[in-house]
Chain A
Amino acid sequence: MTFKLTRRGILKASAATAATLAMPSIVTAAGKNDFSGKEIRLLTWSDNTGLAILENIAKPFEEMTGAKVIADRTGSTSEMVAKLRASGGKAQYDVITLAGVGAVELAGDGLLAKPDLNMLPNLEKVDPRFRSGAEGHGIGYLLWTGGMVYNTKTFKEPPKSYAEMWDAAHAGRLFLPPATWTDALDTIFATGKMIGGDGTNSEAAFAKLAELRSSILTFGENPGQISELFRSDALDIGGVYAPAFFAKELANPAESNMGATYDLDEGFFADLMYTIVPKSKPGDDDVVHAFINYTLDDKVQGVMAEAVLNGPINQQAVMSEAAKASPFIIKPEQLSEKAVVHDKAFIADVREKWIATYQQTLS
């Protein structure tokens, strides 16, 4: 096994050994590939990232195994969590993909099962930092990455720093992420770094952010609206925001006026998304694990990265030449340098306070 051990590489040795030991039996089990007649119920995002899962993961998985994937594509992570919490033990779903915060919340409620890592052989190709989380309840899926989105008419060259947002020329043509998104926490962090701190200097960061108050046109609650505002040339710049929302627009800047960059002095933000399994799932263990394993497949990871501009976590992800050249997709090697991956415990600590302060400072 060739792990690229990076600074945050934390993987329990035992899990790794267990995975290696379990390999042969898995190969035979997965080799059968026959789950015909079985069903798997999947819950995922309603936006284009969810659609891409259907096309690039669910469909080929059905073809390969004969299992039937019933997909529910509704809601954002926080809406999914609210709904799952309210339905308590009675889960309708087998597999759910969602953002990191959601997995941690649900695991905290004791609603999640711990997937058997031995049944997920593809994990060994995954960057050890991103294999699992939420105390073993979440299996890494893809990286949600946030940088800056800008107007290609205004900027001939991509902006190099978040400081561009404070430029008076962009007053009234600026957007920020809404307070309730993780991206807002990233924005506070980025501001802190921009003014010379390490990102956790939130008080100074809020003071700096307060200067933006009158320049904001809108908060980016709805990516479709943001896209329309760029197209009609009403916005110049905004962040921290995920290019993932704008895969289609970024491919056609002449029409959409949209560009995005991760190459910023203060760095960009990466948040690991998870696949989770509710405790009382209706479906079959084998199919569920085979499905999760398939989400980590070399090809699947490459195709998904290209489709939704997320960062692949499989280090052997197969990407097309176009995807490799794309500035919007984070390649595994880029991650080690400028990616800011939040310390989950720290974020959990400050989250509520930061959300409230952000809201009160800016709106």
Chain B
Amino acid sequence: MRVGLLPTEGGGTYRFAILFLATIGILISSLPVIVVTIMSFSASEYSSFPPTEFSFRWYLEVVQLFTNEDPSSAQSVVDSTLTSLLVAFLVMVISTLVCIPLAYALARSNRNLREGMELLFTLPLVFPLVMLGIAFLLIAESLQLELGIWRIAIPHIALVLPFVLRNCLSAMNGISVEIEEAAISLGASPPRAIWDVVVPLMKAGILAGLIFALIISFNEFTVTFFMYTIDVSTLPIWMYSRTVSSLDPATLALSVFIIVVDVFLVVLVDKLIAGRGNLF
């Protein structure tokens, strides 16, 4: 494999530096989650880290939340979860479907156009989310639109486009025109050449894009906060009312539960798209 990037043997300072920095990166990413996961198994309500006794009691509480739902609350956790899943699915599929042809077109067209478009599609990332949330709400209200679930899905699609496009583009970069030309010279129509040759080669980038879209939409809070209604609400909104009130171990257990759901979704998408554990 790519021996040159990370030498398997020898490599001296280079290998050491790469591994050292990667370890720091992993620690920064995962330490808070590890701590929170450990705390969620704490037996007592007030305890310092690390806890001295462990139990599953907070997880039982989470299970109860899902089973004995209080019907008087507008935001039933089950409904919110389903809405979140549906929105995330729509956002994932739509954003990826629109980004694949765009990434292809950008990679195959001239540089100026490409840079301009990349910038345009980075914009959703640059906007402060609070401002965006309120702008979307003001527009939706002034147009008097009855959008249902799309109230949330449309802004989400805009938010994930930069991520999906970047990932598709970076995958497109490595695919040379010759491969396509070869397919065409063998008798494939240009669209077929794209679909049968280029898209499979982009798979890694597409997959990364899909996963980003899924995760970002499923966990988006700020814009959703402005757009949700009493009838269409998502899991992060529901979760918010819990975390604001207290960071008790049940909340932590619920967070761990949400992580598990996310990981499950990520692995599922990976399995479905990539086939036999090919990537990610």
Contacts and interface: CB of A to CB of B under 8 A. Distances in A.
B46 interface: yes
Interface string B134-158: 1001100110100000000000000
A358 interface: no
Given A83-B137, A86-B137, A86-B226, A46 B244 contact: yes
A92 B229 contact: yes
Chain A contact patch, size range: 35 or more
Interface string B160-173: 00000000000000
A68 B72 contact: yes
B21 interface: no
B52 to A, nearest CB: 13
A71 B70 CA distance: 11
B245 A46 contact: yes
A232 interface: yes
A79 B225 contact: yes
Interface in A55-89: 58-59, 62, 68-75, 79, 82-83, 86-88
Contacts, number: 81
Interface string B224-238: 011011100100010
Interface string B217-251: 00000000110111001000100110111110000
A227 B246 contact: yes
Interface stretch (A129-137, A159-167, A248-256): A248-256
A261 to B, nearest CB: 22
Contacts of A70: 72-74, 230
A252 B72 contact: no
A338 interface: no
Nearest to B46: A255
A222 B240 CA distance: 12
Interface in A197-242: 222, 224-225, 227-228, 231-232
B141 A90 contact: yes
B75 interface: yes
Contact of A224 (B45, B138, B144, B243): B243
B72 A69 contact: yes
A72 B230 contact: yes
Nearest to B226: A83
Given A72-B230, A83-B226, A86-B141, A47 B244 contact: yes
A87 B141 contact: yes
Contacts of B230: 41, 70, 72, 92-93
Interface string B176-197: 0000000000000000000000
B67 interface: no
B72 A74 contact: no
Contacts of A47: 241, 244-245
A314 B45 CA distance: 34
Contact of B134 (A46, A69, A86): A86
A48 interface: yes
Contact of B72 (A58, A75, A228): A58
A22 B46 CA distance: 52
B141 A54 contact: no
Contact of A73 (B75, B141, B142): B75
Contacts of A256: 46
A83 B138 CA distance: 9
B48 interface: yes
Interface of B: 45-46, 48, 70, 72-75, 134, 137-138, 141-142, 144, 225-226, 228-230, 233, 237, 240-241, 243-247
Given A47-B241, A227-B246, 6 more contacts: A70-B73, A70-B230, A88-B141, A222-B244, A225-B247, A227-B247
7 contacts: A47-B245, A59-B72, A82-B134, A88-B142, A92-B229, A228-B247, A256-B46
